[in-house]
Amino acid sequence: MANVLFENVSKSFSGANGKDVQAVSGLDLEIRDGEFMVLVGPSGCGKTTTLRMVAGLESIDTGSISMDGVQIDEWHPKDRDVAMVFQNYALYPHLNARENISLGLKLRKYPKKEIHQRLDEAASMLGIQDLLERMPDQLSGGQRQRVAVGRALVRRPKVFLFDEPLSNLDARMRLQMRMELTQLHQKIGATMIYVTHDQAEAMTMGDRIMVMDRGLLQQVAKPVEVYQEPLNTFVAGFIGSPPMNLLCITWNQESHTWELGDQTLNPVPPLLDTPYARQQGSFKVGFRPECARLSEPASTAQTHPTPLKAQVAWLEPTGADTFVHLTMGKEKVVVRQPAAAAWQPGQVVALSIPQDALHCFEVAKGCRATVAG
Ligand code: ADP
Ligand code: MG
């Protein structure tokens, strides 16, 4: 077990057109001893590069990477005491499961008895004792992935690196393996860095999650904190399914109100009720799909907060809930409703957003607005 410290780590590649691609920019981060850290972000944001730099499969341009206080970024990969599990499993096709799992230990000249012991332990932890004599092409996707995890487990590395290990599995197997890997982490308590582009996987698995976009770390925090207090519009729009609704509002100097299209937003969060905010003139406001109420327009004429007028565009039933997609002028909004609610496409509805459900972001950079200004 170990902690992993990134200090100002950057990495660029030369792109096809002669322009450099900045894969990771100035990464500062400490991953704690025994932590399950999930690195999440869209394709191309620098996740794999970050893992490969820890494993030593990629050099770094600037900064340093340390493990337990020792700088390791110039060490040979085999000296780093990390084990990586890849999306495509990377099993040797001509070796059976047992040989695949134990190969690393054999090459490192571990005694036979030790290899057997570790193999047995890993196989029973992963429930693959009966599969050890099979060749990779005789295993299902989930079984192959377990063998790949087994190969990492027997190494007993200080740090496990997982690069989208569940992406090639079908939906049901993905859920199963999610649970198994989480339980495995609870059992062995090792430091794990887990990469995924799937925000649901990140939310359910991570002790903390780090969200990246275009090589830049956007936020690192516990999953619920990232969900409830996204630091910017990128994180707000990436975490959550469907993501947070984000709408533009502008200050109307004549009516002294915040306008959302041709409607008035009332009440507004305290943050917007300041000279600074009025001087800024425009903001993005966000709210989660489950935080707004829908009602018949007439029934709520006198209610608080003042409802906004919206029109139902289409319905997305998911079983327990239905996502109701609405249009409000040029803006699109999604609201989560119980499946039993009988909204119809085309219907005009009243949308009420409680004041404390509203998040405010600066327009220019998309970062969470603060009173300081
Ligand atoms: P992710 O794993 O988040 O999808 P990567 O870390 O693989 O992203 O890639 C980050 C960026 O760096 C992308 O723009 C990718 O095209 C680029 N990149 C990654 N590896 C190389 C390479 N070996 N040569 C050139 N560009 C690369
Ligand atoms: Mg990748």
φ, ψ (nearest 5 deg) of residue 168: -90, 5
Query: Rounded to whole angstroms, how far apart are CA atoms 43 and 60?
Result: 20
Structure tokens of 352?
């009420």
**C-alpha count within 13 angstroms, C-beta hemisphere, residue 117:** 6
User: Dihedral of CA 48/53/58/62: which sign?
Assistant: positive
**Pick from 201, 221, 199, 200: nearest CA to 210:** 221
Q: What is the mean pLDDT of the chain?
A: 93
Ligand 1 centroid – CA 137 distance (Å): 29
pLDDT of residue 315: 96
Q: DSSP labels for 78-91?
A: GGS-EEEE-TT---
Query: Rounded to whole angstroms, how far apart are CA atoms 187 and 111?
Result: 25
CB-based contact 281:339 (threshold 8 Å): no
Q: Which residue's C-alpha comes closest to atom 25 of ligand 1?
A: 13
Ligand 2 centroid – CA 329 distance (Å): 38
Residue-wise pLDDT for 186-222, tens only, equals 999 999 999 999 999 999 999 999 999 999 999 999 9
Q: How confident is the model at residue 301 (pLDDT cuts 50, 70, 90)?
A: low
CB of residue 44 inside a 6 A radius of ligand 1: yes
User: For residue 195, which atom of ligand 1 is closest to its CA?
Assistant: 2
CB of residue 104 inside a 6 A radius of ligand 1: no
User: For residue 58, which atom of ligand 1 is closest to its CA?
Assistant: 23
Residue-wise pLDDT for 343-369, tens only, equals 999 999 999 999 999 999 999 999 999
CB-based contact 171:207 (threshold 8 Å): no
Consecutive H or E run containing 228? helix 223-228
pLDDT of residue 370: 83
Residue-wise pLDDT for 32-83, tens only, equals 999 999 999 999 999 999 999 999 999 999 999 999 999 999 999 989 999 9
pLDDT of residue 299: 59
> Which of 48, 58, 199, when mutated, tests ligand 1's pocket best, judged by the most ligand atoms within 8 Å of its CB?
48
What is the C-alpha end-to-end distance of the chain, expressed in Å?
Answer: 43
Ligand 2 centroid – CA 46 distance (Å): 7
Residue-wise pLDDT for 121-171, tens only, equals 999 988 899 999 999 999 998 899 999 999 999 999 999 999 999 988 888
Residue-wise pLDDT for 242-254, tens only, equals 999 999 999 999 9
Query: Rounded to whole angstroms, how far apart are CA atoms 342 and 331?
Result: 23
CB-based contact 321:280 (threshold 8 Å): no
Token match 């770094």: residue?
Answer: 60
Q: Which amino acid is at 208?
A: R
User: For residue 164, which atom of ligand 1 is closest to its CA?
Assistant: 2
